[in-house]
Amino acid sequence: MPDEAPDPAAGQRAGAMTGKVVVLGVTGGIAAYKAVSVCRMLVDAGCHVVPVMTRDARRFVGEATFSALASEPVMKSLWGEPDAIPHTRLGRRADLVVVAPATARFIGSYANGISDGLLLATVMATRAPVVVCPAMHTEMWEHPAVQENLEVLARRGVHVVSPEPGRLAGGDEGFGRLAEPGRIVDCVLGLLAGDHSKAGDHSKAGDHSKAGDHSKAGDHSKAGASLSGVHVLVSAGGTREAVDAVRVLTNRSSGKQGHAIAEAASLRGARVTLVTTTDRSVPHGIEVVRVESAAQMEKALLERSISAQVVVMAAAVADFRPKAAFEGKLHRSDGLPEILLEPTPDILMELSRSRRPGQLLVGFAAETEKVAERAKLKLLAKGVDLMVANDVSAPGAGFDADTNQVLLIDAAGSVEEIPLASKHAVAEAVLDKVARLMGPGRAPGQG
């Protein structure tokens, strides 16, 4: 058994998925040893795990390890199994198929419909959600063939758990290391809990069309461009600035739009960090940092922006805060307090000043009049690539609504109107625009 870091979420997962059938595909890479931990965590969570190993996977880890943990013989081949059609039987039995690690060769074959062997035949025969967890050397991970194949898979609704930076085979350091088992298992359990398992076809597993009326937001009804390997940092919610021990200055922001963007980016395969002032629940697989004030948000964002390729500043940051919070609670009998205000830091401006080369910065502009004009001025003043402008006084748009209506204004001056749509649909439109601005040559997973 490999060394394992303590897994803080293990208790929460225990026994949560009694009886769900998970096919665990293991392909031939050194990270196959980490699939042992994935197997054990899934069994601990109550899943019935059916291990499927390729020949090369068995060069790295013995099949007895998986069969003992899963209490199920390892399946290896289309031929010689007691069942004459093991792939279709497995595909139908599965509530979910997860492939960890997935080699470049597996990803290429799957994207191109080459059913070469039991595991590939199974992922093609199943109608259950499929989760692919790539692991390979940085050079291979960055190869356009691998990235394009992953984009094809993501467009078809396959969930990609992007790799991480760290130690690779042969003592190299870089990006491409298999995601930590806890992240993979969280993604699997999250999908099973959402009951995507009976979704019926692949596209539905990644389909957001139920979340709102995409058709109204232009051509965003299809699964969007993959953000696999991209680190997306998102802020959400209104900041709260302490007046005294019990009172705060805040605004009407609900955080819904920022959370929708984080969720949509995660479903497109991005590594997402969400810095939020809300206590909204966040799906598995998204790193959440809960903050309250503008100062806390600034610190959290500046620290994490170093590794991000995309930063989306959807939070409504207070523009002013009390110069100093009163100690304890102010009482009515104390008389009217005099509250001195000072400006908060402009976080977006700070992010723009310190941005790393190639990083894409997205701001939001909340306006009540002259929306496009004011948003363009803010785009220039804050040095961002894309401004999402909304008229917060328009019916159905802005704070606390479930819908929104925005203009996407880029630095080249192009303005795209997104008519009233769900905040999830608007999130997809924003990410489509981000993907277009990044272009096909984007460098995935750097840093």
- Catalytic residue of the set 149, 251, 390, 404: 251
Q: Which is nearer to ligand CTP, 279 or 369 (CB)?
A: 369
Q: How many CB atoms lie within 10 A of CB 171?
A: 6
- Least CB distance from residue 374 to ligand CTP, whole Å? 7
Q: Which is nearer to ligand CTP, 70 or 366 (CB)?
A: 366
Question: Cβ distance 177 to 37 under 8 Å?
Answer: no
3-class DSSP state for residue 354?
coil
Piece in contact with ligand CTP (CB under 6 A), picked from 136-144, 168-176, 359-367, 422-430: 359-367
- Least CB distance from residue 360 to ligand CTP, whole Å? 14
Q: Which is nearer to ligand CTP, 254 or 344 (CB)?
A: 344
Piece in contact with ligand CTP (CB under 6 A), picked from 202-210, 278-286, 358-366, 408-416: 358-366
Burial class from Cβ neighbours inside 10 Å (0-12, 13-18, 19+) for residue 64 reads exposed
Question: Cβ distance 175 to 164 under 8 Å?
Answer: yes
Q: Which is nearer to ligand CTP, 388 or 438 (CB)?
A: 388
Q: Which of 25, 163, 285, 363 binds ligand CTP (CB under 6 A)?
A: 363
DSSP secondary structure, 398-429, as one string: STT-SEEEEEEEETT--EEEEEEEEHHHHHHH
Q: Which is nearer to ligand CTP, 205 or 275 (CB)?
A: 275
Question: Cβ distance 30 to 173 under 8 Å?
Answer: no
Q: Which two tokens stand for residue 37?
A: 């931990």
Q: Which two tokens stand for residue 124?
A: 């093609």
Residues numbered 290 to 349 that lie near ligand CTP (CB under 6 A) are: 294, 313, 315, 317, 319, 344, 346-348
Spell out the long-range contacts of 83-91 with Cβ–Cβ below 8 A and sequence spacing 24 or more: 86/118, 86/122, 87/115, 87/118, 87/121, 87/122, 87/124, 87/125, 88/125, 90/23, 90/50, 90/52, 90/118, 90/122, 90/125, 90/126, 91/122, 91/123, 91/124, 91/125, 91/126, 91/127, 91/128
Piece in contact with ligand CTP (CB under 6 A), picked from 31-39, 159-167, 364-372, 421-429: 364-372
DSSP secondary structure, 257-298, as one string: HHHHHHHHHHHTT-EEEEEESS-----TT-EEEE--SHHHHH
Known active-site residue 251? yes
Q: Which of 366, 406, 425, 427 binds ligand CTP (CB under 6 A)?
A: 366
136 binds ligand CTP (CB under 6 A): no
365 binds ligand CTP (CB under 6 A): yes
- Least CB distance from residue 366 to ligand CTP, whole Å? 4
418 binds ligand CTP (CB under 6 A): no
Question: Cβ distance 227 to 431 under 8 Å?
Answer: yes
Draw the binding track, 370-409, toward ligand CTP (x: CB under 6 A; -: no contact): --------x-------------------------------
- Which residues form the interface with ligand CTP (CB under 6 A)? 294, 313, 315, 317, 319, 344, 346-348, 363-366, 378
